Structure 1
């Protein structure tokens, strides 16, 4: 029986397991580290984990909405709870489709989503928490976290799509970012009427 590229493994990971896996991935960044974990969870676990990052981001943005007259507490909260997982799905979907159909990657979408969640969630939470610090927070979010996401994304593409050629993995990541930059504004307009 052939497994669907979107199928989820039978033994789901718990959030605490995913934190431990995230720590290992961040402490020992390599495709082999991602390989150890890519089949320990699936799309559902990845989305639950990403929802955690969205909740942290939403609560912080909502609390700071009192300092801005153009946003509301609930607007910030719900836009992040919906927007961040949707954006994550679009980006990881682009990685899967481009890696598979342009470069012959053999990974499943569930592996892509799970491996990307392992680094996206902790980096996103750190970026959100440090982002509340004026100027320093902007630099951390715009430069440090962005570079870290690109670095770990490159490793995750190599692992989850089984694209060991660094050029193919890098081009997959760049094309996915371009596809995301085209789709993301349309997505936001359709979700939030922006």
Structure 2
């Protein structure tokens, strides 16, 4: 008998865990879930979120939709690998599974919510002017949750080491994204 949960069960568990992480943000909440999944689980969850957000922009064409999904997955993987690697250089002790799973719990639902609200604002036309503010808000929220997630998943507590980890991961991901975009042109 196979005791491995199905993909549907894993995703439903992650949705439930995401709700907890988003409504009770703390290092302790993240620590409850950091060992509950793997990199594979995180990638599946992020891919589902990428497809959902892509569906909201499908009007831009199938190519843009597919590039968005691939770009999202590659960006997520690069970022989480860099958080893990840089976190280790800062004395962190977490695993790549811990980092990817923890980040997926907040990143996926925040991005889906951003896509839904952006579409609503776009439809209202007046709301189109609020989309940049929404993007800034989503960025701030992601940074806040990333700060908590690094503390939990990498077991880092010193603020400077957490910021170094996040800043280097962000810059590395940005550079990789620019290179990948140049290649795909």
Residue in 1 that maps onto 2:21: 25
CA deviation after TM superposition for structure 1 residue 156, in Å: 0.3
Which of the residues 79, 82, 101 maps onto 1:114?
A: 101
CA deviation after TM superposition for structure 1 residue 181, in Å: 1.6
In 1, Cα distance between equivalents of 2:171 and 2:62:
31
Residue 79 of structure 2 corresponds to residue 85 of structure 1: no
In 2, Cα distance between equivalents of 1:36 and 1:180:
28
Which of the residues 62, 80, 96 maps onto 2:84?
A: 96
Q: Which runs of 5+ in 1 are unaligned?
A: 1-9, 66-72
Find runs of 4+ consecutive structure 1 residues off by over 3 angstroms. 10-13
Residue in 1 that maps onto 2:124: none
Residue in 2 that maps onto 1:139: 133
CA deviation after TM superposition for structure 1 residue 138, in Å: 2.7
CA deviation after TM superposition for structure 1 residue 135, in Å: 1.6
Which of the residues 38, 41, 46 maps onto 2:34?
A: 38
Per-residue CA distance 1:120-169 (angstroms, 9 max, x = gap): 0010001111122212223212x110000000000000100110122211
CA deviation after TM superposition for structure 1 residue 11, in Å: 6.3
The answer to whether the 8 A contact 1:11-1:41 is kept is: no
Q: TM-score, normalising length from structure 2?
A: 0.88
> CA-atom RMSD, angstroms?
1.5
Q: 1:11 to 1:167 in 2, by over 3 A?
A: farther
Per-residue CA distance 1:55-101 (angstroms, 9 max, x = gap): 012111113x2xxxxxxx21121111211011100111110110012
CA deviation after TM superposition for structure 1 residue 17, in Å: 0.7
Per-residue CA distance 1:9-63 (angstroms, 9 max, x = gap): x767611110110010011111111100011001011001001111012111113
In 2, Cα distance between equivalents of 1:80 and 1:183:
15
1:60-79 aligned at under 5 Å gives the runs 60-63=56-59, 65=60, 73-79=61-67
Q: TM-score, normalising length from structure 1?
A: 0.84
In 2, Cα distance between equivalents of 1:11 and 1:177:
33
SS, match of residue 57 in structure 2: helix
Which of the residues 172, 175, 185 maps onto 1:182?
A: 175
